[in-house]
DNA sequence: TAGGCGCCGTATCATATGTTACGGATTTTA
DNA sequence: TAAAATCCGTAACATATGATACGGCGCCTA
């Protein structure tokens, strides 16, 4: 069916007039990038005139050139999101429970960390390692558990870690204690919660440094954030997956732990003795 | 050297003004396709004005927007030609933060699911889909957030889901309401908490069906559990990782959602309307 | 607190880009 | 062979698109 544009072309390539066929061939040969350039570039590369290009895409069923380009981009986007696995055939067990979910999760993780650099994480870790200020964590409806998870670890290796839980009014009241030396770590994926956005804005105005962990569409909180980390969340399922955010959290925990190193180690030992 | 544009950006992202940084972040998050669209599209997606986008690409060293787009396209072309290079950019990053953590996590996930069968998960999902009984969730010090995460989802697709939080005495009192039709889902990794073990034992004696999600060394609760799922947690780090347990949780959520299917879908719609 | 500086959006402008009309060339059909 | 239809490029056109000037705003410094 609908399938890819490349297939659509190779189906009809025999029925095309000569010049348009040249256009088709050059497109296939440089698929799909030449189609993302201008009509002039495309036509020159194919050795035909611009109107020929336009007639060509019109014959494929597109109403205009930009529409054709959008289709190519969508296709490319889908291709880029799921690296290896999509190129190969579905690994036989297409209808199992485990396989699709696991594969999608692995893809999400790889894709997520492809866009995250060591230096970015190091910058965030440095901020989270600053024991002078307070560290606050909070999350949305589904992501608040991630904030709790991270808080549980951070509280062990550094002082003044607070997870903001309960009613909105409760966090709001804590704003009074927040200042420019403090860090607020927020987890927020769509649908983004207004209450969180409001809270972030107020914290930002108080000078609090915000670290945001969000999805690829970026929560509106990004506007106020000093650091933004985006994870992939799309899944072949009714739900989005927060697994990539979870691994980001664990990576940060690890990074901060290493940064605090000796100090943190002593703290952990002390804590052991207190139990 | 010049290397990729993505790297170029992450190098300089700290020196950028706020709005341009936001542009940079959206570009990285949707790399590189958003950069191939028009300035208007880009700016809208990033929530900034078009001149900001242009100032941004100018600061990266490009003389104009088309030149920037060409660079992206060249990069993309190179990438599309050699699929192998997609795996990762700097392979030499043995000492980075990202690489070792990510690799270990991916290994853990693969190894975890190698030992989990569809039928095992299907059995658990069937139990969790039984809407006649109550479903209780609880976790240990670090894993309780996982219980919360799962509870947040389960509560949407089926009735009578309860996360047990707070003091030990509080859960204990809820035992009075638990019976043989109910399910208790426990997350527990080492070091296993005595309080959880005691609680599990009592629940077991009341005939509650226990589902245990634990690490590869199996919590002592396994003795009382009807179903046991073990995930890999070992990491080259000071901490164990719960990522595999998290993905198990998401897989179960997905499986139960599919099982309840039509019923669940109606419930979700109803819930949407209530908001 | 006042002054200076850099940031960033609004509005305007120039032009690159897609689009269309038209006519000559080529092939097909009668 | 003549007529018709199709193909295809040239050139003019409209507009979407990138670029720029300008002014307000917030932030830092003195």
CATH code of B240's domain: 3.40.50.10490
Q: Residue A64 belongs to what domain range?
A: 5-81
Q: Do A121 and B242 touch (CB under 8 A)?
A: no
Closest residue in chain B to residue A259, using alpha carbons only: B97
Is residue A137 situated within a structural domain? yes
Residues B116 and B239 in one domain: yes
Q: How far is the CA of B43 from the C1' of D9 (A)?
A: 38
Residues 125-154 of A with CB under 8 A from B: 125, 141-142, 144-146, 148-149, 152-153
Mean pLDDT of the residues in chain B: 87
Residues B81 and B102 in one domain: no
Short-list B93, B130, B170, B167, CA closest to B260: B130
User: Residues A147, A253: one domain?
Assistant: yes
Residue A114 lies in a domain: yes
Please work out, in degrees rounded to the nearest 5, the angle formed at the alpha carbon of residue A68 by the alpha carbons of A63 and A74.
Answer: 135
pLDDT at A118 over 70: yes
**Which whole number is the average pLDDT over B161-172?**
90
A141 & A28 share domain: no
Q: Do residues A114 and A68 share a domain?
A: no
DSSP string, B205-239: HTT-EEEEEEETT--GGGGG-SEEEEE----SSSS
B3 — pLDDT class (breaks 50, 70, 90): low
Residues B74 and B154 in one domain: no
The residues in B 7-36 lying below 8 A from A, measured between CB atoms, are 7, 10-11, 13-14, 22, 25-26, 28-31, 33, 36
Chain segment B15-72, per-residue pLDDT in tens: 889 899 999 989 988 888 999 999 999 999 999 999 999 999 999 999 999 999 999 9
Q: Is residue B93 assigned to a domain? A: no
Distance between CA atoms of A184 and B232, rounded to whole angstroms? 31
Which pLDDT band, with edges at 50, 70 and 90, does A260 fall under? Answer: confident
Query: What digits encode the pLDDT tens for the residues A136-161?
Result: 999 999 999 999 999 999 999 999 99
Residue B188, chain A, CB below 8 Å: the answer is no
d(CA A112, CA B29): 9
Do B119 and B208 belong to one domain? yes
**pLDDT for position B97:** 63
Domains contained in chain B, number: 2
pLDDT above 80 (res A85): no
**Does residue B260 surpass a pLDDT of 90?**
no
pLDDT at A78 over 70: yes
CA distance B69 to chain A (A): 9
SS3 state at B159:
coil
User: Within 245-264 of chain B, which residues have Cβ less than 7 Å from strand C?
Assistant: none
**Quick check: A221 pLDDT over 80?**
yes
- Window 96-125 of B, Cβ < 8 Å to A: 96-98, 101-102, 105-106, 109-110, 113, 116-118, 121-122, 125
Domain edge (last residue) among B86, B115, B140: B86
Question: Could you say which nucleotides of strand C lie within 7 A of any protein CB atom?
Answer: 6-11, 16-21
- Return the pLDDT at A115: 86
Asked whether residue A87 is assigned to any structural domain, the reply reads: no
Q: Is residue A12, in this structure, part of any structural domain at all? A: yes
Q: How does B13-23 read in b/e, with b if 16+ C-beta sit within 10 Å?
A: beebeebbbbb
Q: What percent of chain B has pLDDT over 70?
A: 90
Strand C close to A65 by CB, under 7 A: yes
User: For residue B182, what is the DSSP state?
Assistant: -
CB atoms within 10 A of CB B217: 12
Could you tell me which of A216, A209, A158 has the C-alpha nearest to residue A180?
Answer: A209
pLDDT at position B89 over 90 = no
CA distance to A90, A103, A166, per residue, from A94 (Å): 6, 11, 41
| pLDDT score, position A150 | 98
Reading the block at residue A25, the tokens are 């061939």
- Final residue before a domain boundary, out of A46, A81, A116: A81
CATH number, domain containing residue B77: 1.10.10.10
């Amino acid at each position: 069916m609908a399938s890819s544009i490349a297939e659509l072309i190779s189906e009809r390539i025999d029925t095309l007039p000569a010049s348009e066929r040249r256009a088709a061939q050059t497109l296939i040969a440089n698929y799909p990038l030449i189609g993302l350039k201008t009509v002039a570039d495309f036509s020159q590369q194919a050795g035909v005139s611009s109107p020929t290009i336009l007639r060509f895409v019109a014959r494929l069923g597109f109403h205009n050139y930009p529409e054709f380009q959008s289709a190519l981009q969508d296709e490319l986007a889908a291709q880029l999101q799921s690296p290896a696995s999509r190129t190969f055939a579905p690994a036989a067990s297409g209808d199992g429970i485990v396989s699709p979910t696991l594969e999608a999760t692995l893809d999400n993780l790889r894709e997520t960390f492809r866009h995250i650099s060591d230096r970015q994480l190091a910058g965030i870790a440095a901020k989270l390692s600053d024991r002078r200020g307070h560290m606050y964590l909070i999350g949305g409806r589904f992501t608040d558990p991630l904030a709790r998870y991270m808080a549980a670890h951070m509280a062990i290796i550094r002082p003044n870690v607070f997870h903001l839980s309960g009613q909105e009014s409760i966090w709001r009241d804590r704003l009074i204690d927040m200042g420019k030396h403090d860090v607020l770590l927020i987890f927020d994926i769509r649908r983004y919660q207004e209450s969180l956005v409001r809270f972030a804005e107020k914290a930002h105005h108080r000078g609090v440094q915000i670290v945001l962990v969000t999805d690829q569409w970026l929560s509106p909180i990004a506007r106020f954030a000093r650091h933004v980390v985006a994870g992939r969340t799309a899944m072949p399922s009714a739900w989005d997956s927060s697994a990539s955010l979870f691994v980001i959290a664990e990576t940060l925990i690890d990074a901060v732990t290493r940064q605090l190193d000796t100090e943190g180690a002593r703290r952990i030992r002390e804590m052991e003795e207190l139990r």
